Amino acid sequence: MPASKAKPLVSRLMADYCDRHDLSLVIDKALGHAGYIANKAGKRSFFVGTRFDLNPLGASEIARDKAYTAEFLRRDGFPVPDSLLISSPSSIAVLSSRQPGYTDALVGFQAAERFADEVGFPLFAKPNDGKEGSDVFKGRNRAELSSILNNLFQRHDRVLLQQAVTGRDLRVLVLGNKILCAIERTAPEVIGDGRSTLAELAGGINQIDPEDPRLVQTLEGQGYALSDVPATGVAVSLLPTANLSSGGSARDVTQYLPKAIAEAAIASGKALGLSYFGADLIVQSANDASSPDFTILELNAAPGLSMLHRLGPKHAKMVEGIYEQVFEALGQKLEAAY
C-alpha cells in the first residue's frame, strides 16, 4: 500500500471513518483508488474513486450521458439549455456498416450549423461523457464551431452542443433530501500588473495548461494574445469553464442558496433516480432573490471534491464533513440490507 499521505483523499478519509465505526476497508494495492467497506456480517459496499454504492447503475449511466440527462430533465419540466448531440463522421460510418437502421438518428456537421442558426452564438461544445470541464469549448461563430468540432472529433465520438447561458455558476451537492453544500465557481482569470504578459500570468496557475487551445481562443475573444501585457488591475478570463480542476475558484454559498434552487436541485436528482450527486446550475437572474431564474446544465453522479479540499482549511473542513455524511449513508445502507 502506498504511504498514507500518498493515498487519494477518499481513501484516507474512508480509512479513518472505518476505524471509528468498526468497519473493514479493503483498497487496491497499486493506487488506493478502488475497494470496498464491509460490516461485521460481511456485507460489502464497493467504490471506485468518488463512485459509491449509493446510486443505481442505470441512474449513474444516465447522469454520465449529458444528452440523456438534458432530455429527461426537460421532459419533467426542468429548465435546461437547448442542446443537440452531434456524432463524429467516423462513428456514423462505423454504425452505418454495423447497424444501418440506427444511423438516421445520428446527426453531424450540417445539423450543427442548423442548430447554431436557430439558437444563435455563442454555443458550448463538450464531450457527451466528459468530466471536470475537460475539452469544453465556446464557439462564437460558424468558423470557430467547425474548428472546434473537428478538434473534438479527433478524441470523442459524440459531442453535445448547448446554448450558452450566462450567470452565476453553482455546484449544488445533494445527498437524499439534503443539501450538503452549494459552491459558486468562477472561471480562472488573471489580474494585470502592467509588467507581465498574459502567458506569464497564466503560468502562475498550476491547473492551466499553456498548450490548451482554449486559452488562446478565450483570450482572442477578449481582444488579447498571450504576449500582451494587460494594464494594472485589469481582469482577463483564461478559460470558458469554471471547473476547479481547470484553475477556477470557489466560494461557499450554502447559507445563501435560495429555497427554490435547493428544491429544484434535490428534485432533479430524484427525477433521474440519483441519491448522491452534484447539480450544476447557472443562476441567470436575481430579480427575485427567493426564486431566481436558473438553468440546470448537468448532473454528476460522482462529484469530485479533492480540488475543493485543497483550497484551504475552511474548504477542507467542509469537504471532510461532507464525506463523513456520505460514508454514514453507505454504512446505513449496509445495515439496512439485513
pLDDT value at 321 more than 90: yes
pLDDT, mean of residues 149-167: 93
Q: What is the pLDDT of residues 60-115, one digit of tens each?
A: 999 999 999 999 999 999 999 999 999 988 887 777 777 666 666 677 888 999 99
Torsion of CA 87, 170, 210, 217, to 10 degrees: 60
Query: What are the CB-based long-range contacts (under 8 Å, 24+) for 197-206?
Result: 197/226, 197/227, 197/228, 197/229, 198/224, 198/225, 198/226, 198/227, 198/228, 198/229, 198/230, 198/236, 199/226, 199/227, 201/230, 201/236, 202/226, 202/238, 205/238, 205/247, 206/247
Range in 99-108, 138-147, 239-248 with the lowest mean pLDDT: 99-108
Contact between 321 and 179 (Cβ < 8 Å)? no
Query: Cell for 40?
Result: 461485521
The confidence score (pLDDT) of residue 2 equals 42
Residue type, 184: E
pTM: 0.91
pLDDT, mean of residues 280-301: 84
Of residues 208 and 25, which shows the higher confidence score? Answer: 25
- Report the percentage of the chain scoring pLDDT > 90: 79
Closest by CA to 145, choosing from 210, 104, 84, is 84
Omega before residue 122 within 30° of 0, cis: yes
- Report the percentage of the chain scoring pLDDT > 70: 93
The confidence score (pLDDT) of residue 3 equals 43
What CA–CA distance (Å, rounded) separates 42 from 54?
18
Kindly state which CATH superfamily the domain 82-164 is placed in: ATP-grasp fold, A domain (3.30.1490.20)
Q: Pairing between strand 189-191 and 235-237?
A: antiparallel
pLDDT-derived band at 184 (thresholds 50, 70, 90) equals: very high
Phi (first) and psi of residue 98, to 5 degrees: -90, -45
pLDDT value at 310 more than 80: yes
Parse the chain into domains and list their residue ranges: 4-50+323-336, 82-164
pLDDT-derived band at 337 (thresholds 50, 70, 90) equals: low
Contact between 115 and 85 (Cβ < 8 Å)? no
pLDDT value at 338 more than 80: no
pLDDT value at 266 more than 90: yes
What CA–CA distance (Å, rounded) separates 300 from 165?
19
Q: What secondary structure letter does DSSP report for 6?
A: G
The residues that bridge with 84 in the sheet, in sequence order, are: 161
